[in-house]
Amino acid sequence: MEMKKKKFVVCIVAAFLAGAAVTGGSCAVAFNGVFGYVKVSKDDYEKMSQTYQRYGKLNQLYNTVNTTFYDDVNEESLMEGAYKGLVSGLGDPYSSYMTADEYKTWKATATGEYSGIGVTFTKDENGNFAVISVEKGSPAEEAGLKAGDFITAVDDKEYDDLDVIGNAIRGDEGSKVKLTYVRDGKEKSVTLIRQTIVQHSVEHKMMDGNIGYIRISSFIETTGDDFKEALKDIEGKSAKGLILDLRDNGGGLVNSCVEVADEFLDEGVVAYVEDRNKNRTDYEAKDGKTDLKTVVLVNENSASASEILAAALKDNGFDLVGQTTYGKGVIQSTAELEDGSALKLTIMQYFSPDGNAINKKGVEPDYKVKNEENSGSDTQMKKAVSLF
């Protein structure tokens, strides 16, 4: 009888190590040490079995690499690679795992001040890192980089993660970085010296015909307040209308976008998001708006938060001029982990007030106008002016 009991324990241990879930009864027996065993609850045992089924292969790979690789193994790098690989398995260009150093650098861009070369880019549906905009006066502009270029390597190293390549481009002020990019099918390389980039996301002026002009290049922490100041200045000069330029705006902070939308809309929905279970959250404007007639300029590089603003204004009767926007209509949530690393994960999709999806579709302008490259003429601007 004793032999049968020992054999039964061995069978359960073998089943667990093979990843099989043993149910039945109020408790199960789990392997503990070389010859011993302990009792665990049925629920805990099932969780242990499920964990082994899910990560047993990873553990086998880890042990094989750790004991067989020809050189010393850096365990921290090995596990970071596993974390990054897990998230990259989603196939979503906007979701990523960031190390503590990567996350610290990434957060700096949201404030509008960082050390780098002054280029904004995204990962398109083909996996290319496409330049959306270049900061005026930045090393990137001085080197001749333009919207539409494709970044292929940084310091001769290729990347497939959007945040990782962004961190590779940023660095200490005064340090050098080699950028390889493709334009019109031709590959070029340039070495730039990083400098402190202070983003000024709002520019404004008065144009001929008493028309105000405000350009928003991105949505950072200061955009909402800066836009209100610009709008107040233009209104104070008795402008008869306003052109809002969102061309080459790669997006940014949604709350800043909503602050700007609030200056154009009465109380109501600016945009709403839905998660995988169709749970809805609204972004709303408060009562009160400018009386200025406004025409909005957009192009194929207007992305993310700029598309949210453009879609909200279009649904509320504003005229859009230019090209269909980029089509990034999803929201990411970034959660910092205990060790300072972070998970950036796409969790929701945006919709315009009328329920129009933005992601992979973009926002179509009311007046489709294309600026011919190297023509020296801003046809889109001329069309916008003609609408007043």
- Print pLDDT tens along the chain (388 aa): 333 433 333 333 333 333 333 333 344 554 455 455 667 788 888 888 888 888 889 989 999 999 999 999 998 999 999 999 999 999 888 899 999 988 887 776 666 667 889 888 888 778 899 998 888 889 999 999 998 899 999 999 999 888 789 889 988 899 999 999 999 999 999 999 999 887 788 999 999 999 999 999 989 889 999 999 999 999 999 999 999 999 989 888 899 999 999 999 999 999 999 999 999 999 999 988 999 999 999 999 899 999 999 999 999 999 999 999 999 999 888 999 999 999 999 999 999 999 999 999 999 999 999 998 767 789 999 999 999 9
**Continuous segment of H or E residues that includes residue 254:** helix 254-261
Three-class secondary structure of residue 94 per DSSP? coil
Whether 320 contacts 366, CB under 8 Å: yes
Query: Would you say 305 and 253 are in contact if contact means Cβ atoms under 8 Å apart?
Result: yes
CA angle, residues 280, 286, 288, in degrees to nearest 5: 150
Q: Which residues contact 22 (CB under 8 A, 6 or more apart)?
A: 12, 15, 16, 28, 45, 49
pTM over 0.85: no
Strands (E), the chain: 27-31, 37-41, 96-98, 113-116, 119-123, 129-134, 150-154, 176-183, 186-193, 195-198, 202-207, 211-216, 241-245, 268-274, 280-285, 293-298, 319-322, 330-336, 342-351, 367-368
CATH 3.40.50.10860 applies to domain 113-197: no
Q: Structural domain boundaries of the chain?
A: 2-68, 113-197, 200-386
State both tokens at 177: 């970085």
CATH T-level fold of 200-386 = 2-enoyl-CoA Hydratase; Chain A, domain 1 (3.90.226)
Contact yes or no for 209/180 (Cβ under 8 A): no
pLDDT at 37: 67
Give the residue numbers marked as catalytic. 304, 315, 328
Question: Given this model, what pLDDT does residue 111 score?
Answer: 62
For the record, the structure tokens of 254 come out as 């949604």
What span, in angstroms and rounded, lies between the C-alpha atoms of 68 and 40? 34
Q: CA separation (Å) from 154 to 143, 159, 179, 184, 305?
A: 15, 8, 5, 19, 27
In this structure, what DSSP letter does residue 371 have? P
- Look at residue 1 in the predicted model and tell me its pLDDT: 35
Q: What is the pLDDT of residue 9?
A: 38
- Distance, in Å, from the CA atom of 165 to the CA atom of 127, rounded to the nearest integer, reads 13
> Residues 129, 379: contact at Cβ < 8 Å?
no
Cβ proximity of 130 and 148 under 8 Å? yes
Long-range CB contact pairs, 188-191, < 8 A, 24+: 190/143, 190/144, 190/145
First to last CA, the chain: 96
Query: Residue 310: helix, strand or coil by DSSP?
Result: helix
